[in-house]
Chain A
Amino acid sequence: RKEVEQDPGPFNVPEGATVAFNCTYSNSASQSFFWYRQDCRKEPKLLMSVYSSGNEDGRFTAQLNRASQYISLLIRDSKLSDSATYLCVVKDNFNKFYFGSGTKLNVKP
């Protein structure tokens, strides 16, 4: 069983749409949670950390459900520039990071 599982997509949405990605993780002792963004042929970059109470950064909202071991990312008012692959990442208490395979988003004009 993979440590972190994500729907690979692709999600094809029009500009202005709201889109949600989900991910599940298997290790209940996981300590920290993140969403990274990866553009084609580039390194992953941190989009946002995910906190138990949920958190928002502009058009992006992240939620964590520890009981269900489930993380989500909501993108409102999608822009063309949001087109990328979104990686769900979980850190354990030994500072090892586990990456999902990524969910590809295509925002169309």
Chain B
Amino acid sequence: NAGVTQTPKFRILKIGQSMTLQCTQDMNHNYMYWYRQDPGMGLKLIYYSVGAGITDKGEVPNGYNVSRSTTEDFPLRLELAAPSQTSVYFCASSDTQTEQYFGPGTRLTVT
């Protein structure tokens, strides 16, 4: 099993550009999550999903959108990138009886 995979690993965006961060898990987990982590800070929940077709906002959803059309995939869309979105983005998955499993992260710089 690959676990949770994320692409790309790194990306530099110009202000106002858009991009999609990809996340895929192969553990058949119902729950998936997107977090951001700024340097020296803790994880902040952006969006989460409890199953295909169901998503909900977390603590810091502004400037982001998600979709969950399949159990495996949970892409995060950034529209009109801003310097404040420079961060490391982690995707994670879990099920009711498990801990969270994290992907390796995407390092995003917006300049």
Tell me the A residues contacting B by CB distance below 8 Å.
32, 34, 41-46, 49, 87, 89, 91, 95-97, 99-102
Secondary structure of the B contact surface, majority rule? strand
Identify which of A41, A42, A99 contacts B43 (C-beta below 8 A): A99
Q: Is the CB of A95 within 8 A of B90?
A: no
Chain A contacts for B43, CB-based, 8 A: 44, 87, 99
Least CB distance from A21 to B in Å reads 14
Interface size on B, residues (CB 8 A): 22
Q: Does B33 contact A (CB under 8 A)?
A: yes
Tell me the B residues contacting A by CB distance below 8 Å.
31, 33, 41-43, 45, 48, 50, 88, 90, 92, 94-96, 99-105, 107
In the docked arrangement, what's the CA distance between A34 and B99, Å?
Answer: 8
Chain A contacts for B104, CB-based, 8 A: 42-43
Identify which of B31, B41, B42, B45 contacts A95 (C-beta below 8 A): B31
